[in-house]
Amino acid sequence: MSSRIEILNAGGYRSDGRRQYELRTINVDLSPQGSGADGFATLSHGLTQVSVCVFGPREAKMRSQTFHDRANVNIEVGIAAFSASERRRRGRGDRRILEISQTLKSTFEPVIQTSLYPRSQIDIYIQILQQDGGVLQACINATTLALASAGIPLYDFVCAVTGGVHSTSPLLDLTLLEENDLPNVTVAVMPRSGKVTLVTMETRLHIDRFEEIFRLAGEAGKVIHLEMKQAIKDRTERLVGAMQSVGRPAATGDNEY
């Protein structure tokens, strides 16, 4: 069934007012918010919002999950019942949740320097708070930020974006409306090395169109990388400033500010 809303109008604008290659606004919050986690990130791409907590590296709870030469990466995904228009409670065994968890695990295991932490465990808990397209890309980008926030060494950032094709026109960073109507792909890149860590499609996409959308998604990943890097830099500067102010003697007199 085709959408009643025009995906791309004659003026080249999408239903939310963006151009073909224009990305949604990215908002990042790296404050721990009392979670007690070693690393934390809440990230939104437009109306899609994901929160990630990272604990560890810490001692593995079960011997079966202990590797003598590296850390075990454990990823759990939860989807809030209010995150989508259809109020559906999803348990841990839900197929969609298992798919996302497995995709994230295979994406991040080669990127985290697990060999530095033998016989330990890194737990990553992801909560999907709002869904409006690009849920997997938001999970990947938020997890990268939370791992960096926890100080866990990564070989590179992992930056993801969705792309789709309307008629012959490629679109980037799809909303839920666009995802439901268009053949689409999610691409995750490591910007520094240029390596691709993930390509996943849930729909068919013509080979001629795939090459173009793949290239565009790779370039968009570099743009997202700059935003993510800036968020980490801002947080680091705030932490350094706070540490310096703690060590500084209290000012006296009227010239305090």
**Residue 21 in domain:** no
Number of domains the chain contains: 1
pLDDT per position as a tens digit, 145-189: 999 999 999 999 999 999 999 988 999 999 999 999 999 999 999
If you search the block for the tokens 């990305």, which residue do you land on?
23
Q: How far apart are alpha carbons 208 and 11 in whole angstroms?
A: 25
Cβ-proximal residues to 204 (8 Å cutoff; 6+ apart), any chain: 183
What's the pLDDT score for residue 161? 97
Structure tokens at 93: 């065994």
Residue 247: pLDDT above 70?
Answer: no
CATH (domain of 232): 3.30.230.70
Is 35's pLDDT higher than 80? no
In a domain, 124, yes or no: yes
CA 122 to chain centroid? 17
- Would 14 be classed as within a structural domain? no
Containing structural domain, residue 55: 26-242
Can you name the residues that pair with 28 across neighbouring β-strands? 43
Does residue 18 lie in a domain region?
A: no
Does 56 map to a domain? yes
Asked if the structure places residue 253 within a domain, the reply is no
Arithmetic mean of pLDDT over the chain: 89
Asked whether residue 83 is domain-assigned, the answer is yes
> Is residue 185 in some structural domain?
yes
Distance CA 230, CA 193 (A): 19
